Amino acid sequence: MSNHLFDAIRASAGAGGAVFIETADGRRWTYGEALRVSGQIASAIDVLGVRPGDRVAVQVEKSPLALLLYLACLRSGAVYLPLNTAYTLAELDYFIGDAHPHLVIVSSKARAGVEAIARSHGAIVETLDADGGGSLMELAADEQADFIDAARGPDDLAAILYTSGTTGRSKGAMLTHDNLLSNALALRDCWRVTPEDRLIHALPIFHTHGLFVATNVTLIAGSSMFLLPKFDPAEILCLMPRSTLMMGVPTFYVRLLQHEGLDRAAAAGMRLFVSGSAPLLAETHASFEERTGHAILERYGMTETNMNTSNPYEGERKAGTVGFPLPGVSVRVSDPATGRVLEPGETGMIEIKGPNVFKGYWRMPEKTAAEFTKDGYFISGDLGKFDEEGYLHIVGRGKDLVISGGYNIYPKEVESEIDRLDGVVESAVIGVAHPEFGEGVTAIVVTEPGAALTEKAVLDALGDRLARYKQPKRIIFAQELPRNTMGKVQKNLLRDRYRDLYQKAP
Ligand code: MCA
Ligand code: AMP
């Protein structure tokens, strides 16, 4: 019996004594220990009644055990469903109701709130805390480590990751064992990751970037990582002399550049800096190279497709581009109106096909069908063009999406929450250039005559409805929203009108 992804991880995990994870306090987890403990957790999950194909929803703080829980789910054949720790109970209710997990794992302090929601959807709850406490590890401690991994083929589901939906509600992207394995192998080879590498891991582990790109590549290369609970520039600068690799969103690099400790000496031992999840400004790329001597390598991916393209390891890492298609991945630019595949220099819809592309949206066959072309390419919603040298440039988004600090926010979801408030006629949520987060979520709100709504009142009302990063940085009240002759709100005009909102006065 084989388990497609975990067998490959096991084979590349290297000698049992090699270090997989080191935490800031110097605690080390070897690959041997990771195998043993993930086996115990897999046994505990089995005892709790989780069967292959069942979903296990996980909303826990980042920690080594949280990663071993992910491995345990792969081994038990469960479908791992990570959830942003910032999600409110209202948001959690939707995910649990939609995915119908058998088991929900949260921190001990969140248990009381989540229990009723889970029970109403027929799920059981266990706990896992950042310090290793909680009921799950109590159960696992009594279990054997020699768990027999469930048989899972390339096409079986390994994970569901929710992506924000253009129509408001999130869609669960179903990712298979081979989606994850093929991508990890391609990235390991492209970025020349070896057992000698040590990654600075400061990303959250509930999204593709921190969970699959950073963690799966480490596992499949048999390399090691410093696992940090969150991004802290001073801590990262301290770790650089003992590290070789870092992966981050553009905000990481903007914040590192604000730190006076960032210079050539600090980064001398580093081999590679990777950026993704949002556009890296060419000026950030240039400043970083000037300060450290390193050209950041930018790559492009999506939850639905994992990684699609990457700038080269050897050869020019062209600022403002996302490089070439990964081996085995086909990327094309098409005319959205006619479907004609465009020539270099022509801008159109970026479309993707390959072993990296997901199986579809959980229980949404029509939405899935709508996102693919007749010949099987996934329609990304990103607009781009290839240049004459074959580098892909992302020039805009065809989808109404705000990316703030690497997190995606769909305006419709925020607008729906604002529109339900008393005194609100309508609202438009846009992304406005922000020096630190790339884009800042901004709401333009039209109120009923005489309504006494204030910016603070709107923000307070959103407090327990939307995760913090989705909440507008500013609320602007307006008499009306600009509309075209079809009655559609002209967000481009609003983006233009408020484009300097977050720029500091010179
Ligand atoms: C925190 N805040 C934010 C964000 N993060 N606001 C908007 N956007 C954000 N991303 C708020 C906090 O709630 C707080 O608000 C204030 O900003 C300052 O918090 P701070 O502690 O400074 O923030 P932080 O904890 O340092 O977080 C910033 C961060 C973090 C490090 C950039 O957001 C982050 O780790 N982002 C990475 C996201 C990521 O991994 N994306 C990958 C998705 P207040 O003061 O009002 O309370 S995967 C993906 O996109 C695809 C597949 C791909 O290609 O990778
Ligand atoms: P997500 O839904 O979190 O998977 O985010 C995917 C989206 O992030 C893509 O469709 C792009 O719009 C954006 N994205 C990811 N990487 C990059 C990049 N390097 N440059 C520009 N946009 C990016």
Q: What digits encode the pLDDT tens for the residues 212-271?
A: 999 999 999 999 999 999 999 999 999 999 999 999 999 999 999 999 999 999 999 999
| Cβ–ligand 1 contact at 119 (below 6 Å) | no
Region 154-168: mean pLDDT is 85
Residue partners of 459: CB distance under 8 A and separation at least 6: 471, 472, 475
Ligand 1 atom with the smallest distance to the CA of 437 is 8
Q: Which amino acid is at 157?
A: L
Ligand nearest to the CA of 466: 1
Residues of the chain with pLDDT > 70, as a percent, come to 99
Confidence band, pLDDT 50/70/90 cuts, at residue 504: confident
Ligand nearest to the CA of 384: 2
| Cβ–ligand 1 contact at 230 (below 6 Å) | yes
**Residue of the CA atom closest to atom 5 of ligand 1:** 469
Region 152-169: mean pLDDT is 86
Ligand 2 atom with the smallest distance to the CA of 397 is 12
Residue 452 has pLDDT above 70, yes or no: yes
Distance CA 60, CA 305 (A): 25
Residue 164 has pLDDT above 80, yes or no: no
CB 322 within 8 A of CB 310: yes
Q: What digits encode the pLDDT tens for the residues 101-145?
A: 999 999 999 999 999 999 999 999 999 999 999 999 999 999 999
Q: Which two tokens stand for residue 448?
A: 């009923």
Buried b (16+ CB within 10 A) or exposed e, 156-190: bbbbbbbbbbbeebbbbbbbbbbbbbbbbbbbbeb
Distance CA 177, CA 5 (A): 5
Q: Cα(18) to centroid of ligand 1, in Å?
A: 32
**Residue of the CA atom closest to atom 45 of ligand 1:** 468
Confidence band, pLDDT 50/70/90 cuts, at residue 423: very high
Q: How far is CA 206 from the centre of its chain?
A: 6
Distance CA 342, CA 344 (A): 7
Mean pLDDT of the chain: 96
CB 164 within 8 A of CB 401: yes
Q: Cα(355) to centroid of ligand 1, in Å?
A: 30
Q: Quick one: pLDDT at residue 399?
A: 85
- Nearest Cα neighbor of 229 from 423, 60, 461, 380 is 60
The DSSP line for 168-195 is EEEEEEEEEHHHHHHHHHHHHHHTT--T
